[in-house]
Chains A and B, each alone.
Chain A
Amino acid sequence: MAETNEHGHKWTMIVDLDKCNGCNACVVACHAENNVPIASEEEVIRGRGNHWIRIERYWEGEYPDVQARFIPVFCQQCGSAPCEPVCPTYASYHSTEQNLNVQVYNRCVGTRYCGNNCPYKVRFFNWWTPEWDSPLNEQLNPDVTVRSAGVMEKCTFCIQRIRRAENDATADGRELRDGDVQPACAQACPSRALVFGDLYDPESQVSERLPAERQFKLLENLGTEPAVYYLKGEDTHVGE
């Protein structure tokens, strides 16, 4: 389902819910890559947990006919994003080149309007300036800003990796290839439930896999035009 555009990229994630088993490898990978602070026990109890990608778990039915389902949720990089028009400082804006929702940390004054307006609840507010007990600060990724108190943050599709891959490709005098960019979550995923790529590239894995029979988008009826495609779990009830 490649879309064509001479300029830029349309970064897309496919989440195959048939393969996601809630192992949380993506969650820790994202914390490590993006310098996302860990909320203490007290902060989690106050509802201030911060994970750019999280595994939502839904219960269906009652014992013994009960079913749990996992849905990894992160910024859906909406084409028509509710978070963008409400930002008074243009900290939250749309990159037309990358087709991403971008957050400019040093414009953000912490009104939290964007978080309020996001139907996916994937924007997180820094209630405190993050601290790392020395020498845990050594683990910080120098490619990613550490956000201070009062700033809103969210999943960027690992924009620093996109930039690095683009720079490397330019230095080699070639076009970006499918697979050059791997966000930390997709790279770690043991079962390969997360597949990332450019929908403008007809050869990319995401273009080849879409459209898929099982595809849907989260809260699509809100008209947000998410860039993330979910593939429903298959319920092949053999022999039933």
Chain B
Amino acid sequence: MTNLTRRNFIKIGAAGTATVILAGCDSDERWVKIETYVRSPEEEVAGNPKWFATTCRQCGAGCGVIARVINGRAVKLEGNPEHPVNRGALCARGQAGLQVLYNPDRVQTAARQDGRATRNYEPIPWNTGINQLAEALNSAGSRVAVWVGTTTPGHLVDLFTRFTDAVGAPAPVRYDLNAGFGGYAPLSNASEGVLGQAGLPTYGIGDADFILSFGAEFLGSWISAAGYGREYGEFRSKRIGKARGYLVQLEPRMSNTAASADRWIPVHPGTEVLVAQAILRLIADGSAGSQERRDLAGQFAGDVDLEEIAEQTDISVETLQTLATTFANASRPLAIPGTPVTGRDNATEAVNAINALNVVAGNLGGSGGISLTPAAPINALAAPTYSNYQDAADLIAAMTNGEIDVLLVHGANPAFELPASAGFQAALENVGLVVSFASIVDETALYADLLLPDRVYLEGWGYDVATPGFQGLPIVSGQQPVVTPLYDNVAAADVLLTAAKSVSGAASALPWTDEVAFIKDIVTQLPEAAYPAEGDDVKWAYFLQHGGWWPAEAPESEAPEVSLGGPVELGPAMYEGDPAEYPYFLHLYMSPILGDGSGASQPWLQGTPDPMTTIAWQTWVEINPRTAEELDLDDGDIVRVSSPNGTIEAPIYRYPAIRPDTLAIPIGQGHEALSRYAKDRGANPVQLVSGTPGNDGNIAWSTVRVKLEKQGENKPLAVFESTVDQGEDVHIPF
């Protein structure tokens, strides 16, 4: 040991700092450095912001965001004005992304749980965790399963897929509430009939002048909130060649999408396809629209009895006639199927019945209609595919049968997002090692043996092929850290790449040193973007600077091959539950604020009032005031809602815009974990649906009946609106 003089001490200190920085990253371009004021980098002006483009991972839409960073702290997220998905817009959940980063309940290191669901976590060094994973993967061979969600970044899904391919395991299951409740699988499957190939379609809302939405909450949490919100603004604008769009929303409970519609039609639950069939018949037999449209409608119209449909749907023949005439006469009409259609039996067929209207409209393939996101120009960047619930159920069955030794979960929370009857938690008992990559302990991580918390999206790398894309563009959204990682966490992709090195068969399939090398390798293969860039380094730098890659102009698309031949003759949806015992239809919807429930961990979202009820922080049951009166129920009265599958308790909110035979409950709350803000708050209505796959391999989100029992207690509602009943006469005292 040398003599420790003051001068030497400073030298050693400086060397130590430098070492830490070098060990922390392979290349200094990869991290934003936090610097103290006293040793600020020359270019840093205190209080002057820096801006970093990255990708939002609050849902799967892949919006571009720009983070405002001051002295190493991310203080605001904005939409990226260049990004084709959102063009500068950002939804409520996107805005709240800072609270994913700065959430006080994040897991701060690797940890082991001493007994599942004991919440007894013991921090372990990362090497220990990665070694344990590597050993488990090595001995598991092909008995490995990966469960990811829509919010898992694309590069990580690609790496997981390369890994499962290499070891001979099935491809990752990509299923969560966004994909399941959003109906990604039936929507994708139905694309085959009208667009020639499967894939999640883009609805050209902005260029349409008449929209018939069959319960698609495209202004809520459905698929791409900011993207469709932006399109909706276009839809409402008048431009040369386009009139102000007219929106008709058919659904049993008025959502904020229906509230924004020109006309809300409280259709009888489960009869959406009958409405479509009636409209096709009326167009075929009528005189509205072009001859071509009438001929096409004739091709798809079945033998239907209009009077009977009017009775079944609760929509008069006159109204059906109006809808048919308007649809046929519109220059760019569009029909959109939502969760009431994708969450029923025969979901793909039901989507086809709605899509037949799009065939009649002649809006397939181009802008203003329905189209597929064009493929990215290199094979490694194929559009993401989403699993149907059947794939998830098959995996659960394999787990139950003891066929899975290691389960890796990232970006999905099946223990919360699936009904208990799906058997996910029970199946985990037969899985040797459950690994969660969650950044906050969620319900699934409660059952994990090993926590390897991933870096959150504002401190991690990635790319994402945006699906649906917009404006006919293939879009590869880029993700980069905007701040130095807050905690001692290792990126999930780096965990996988490191572990795979010692797994036989996998090492050669995953040769990259780290995730940045992998992403860079892929990104530099991309052809010219909307911005000019030459050479690998410039391409990479511009990819990060602009927030992704997309071409200046949409590639030319070929006319799709329509194989949807004749009429789709499908009856009303089959409901679960005997009407005598369960008198009400259950209408579930994803909270427009909390989304799939992951938003419940963020106080900004918890405290934001629901647009329709103005309730914050809670779960409530919406009931028509007339039904409430019959049952002697007032706002805040706690009720027990039971279906053949489960039971929840929540307070009543008398909701003027819901059918008297329907109860509506938002999904999002009812967490057992997921931070102090979400835990033990509200109820999870997912428990009311059945975990048995329907005949289309989906969950029957929208076809279950429930009953209601008053509990005799009252809970004050956290409403932001006035609770003073102003009645008919409002007296203003001045």
Contact = CB atoms under 8 A, between A and B. Distances in A.
A70 B219 CA distance: 13
Nearest to A190: B229
Interface in B4-60: 47
Given A40-B617, A44-B720, A193-B233, A23 B611 contact: yes
A41 B600 CA distance: 13
A123 interface: no
Interface string B494-530: 0000000000000000000000000000000000000
A21 B219 contact: yes
B603 A141 contact: no
A188 B75 contact: no
Contact of A31 (B79, B86, B232, B604): B604
Interface residues of A, number: 63
A173 interface: no
A190 B720 contact: no
B131 interface: no
B236 interface: yes
Given A23-B91, A139-B99, A193-B233, A51 B78 contact: no
A217 B77 CA distance: 31
Contacts of B593: 24
B242 interface: no
A184 interface: yes
Q: What DSSP secondary structure best describes chain A's contact surface? A: loop
Contact of A133 (B95, B104, B232, B264): B104
A140 B102 CA distance: 11
Interface stretch (B110-118, B162-170, B463-471, B656-664): B656-664
Contact of B612 (A22, A27, A139, A238): A22
Given A68-B657, A135-B102, A136-B102, A141 B75 contact: yes
A67 B265 CA distance: 11
Interface in A29-62: 29, 31-33, 38-41, 44-45, 47, 49, 51, 54-57, 59, 62
A39 B95 contact: no
A136 B675 CA distance: 13
A235 interface: yes
Given A28-B95, A239-B326, A41 B90 contact: no
A28 B656 contact: no
A66 B624 CA distance: 12
Contacts of B557: none
A240 interface: yes
A63 B233 contact: no
A236 interface: yes
A187 interface: yes
Interface string A195-230: 000000000000000000000000000000000000
A135 B93 CA distance: 19
Contacts, number: 212
A47 B720 CA distance: 7
Contacts of A234: 244
B608 A190 contact: no
Nearest to B105: A133
Given A23-B225, A64-B266, A234-B244, A44 B102 contact: no
B607 A191 contact: no
Contacts of B625: 63
A25 B90 contact: yes
A139 B226 contact: no
B254 interface: yes
Nearest to B90: A188
B592 A184 contact: no
Contact of B88 (A27, A28, A139, A187): A187
B75 A70 contact: no
A29 B93 CA distance: 10
Contacts of B98: 32, 139
A40 B90 CA distance: 25
A135 B91 contact: no
B89 A189 contact: yes
Contacts of A184: 76
Given A24-B593, A141-B76, A68 B603 contact: no
Given A21-B232, A25-B95, A187-B78, A68 B90 contact: no
Which of A18, A70, A191 counts the most B-chain CB atoms under 10 A from its CB?
Answer: A191
Contacts of A141: 75-76
A232 interface: no
5 closest cross-chain pairs (CB), A and B: A190-B229, A191-B233, A22-B611, A38-B607, A190-B89
15 contacts: A18-B244, A19-B233, A22-B612, A24-B592, A25-B89, A29-B95, A44-B720, A57-B611, A63-B660, A64-B266, A67-B259, A136-B603, A143-B47, A237-B262, A237-B263
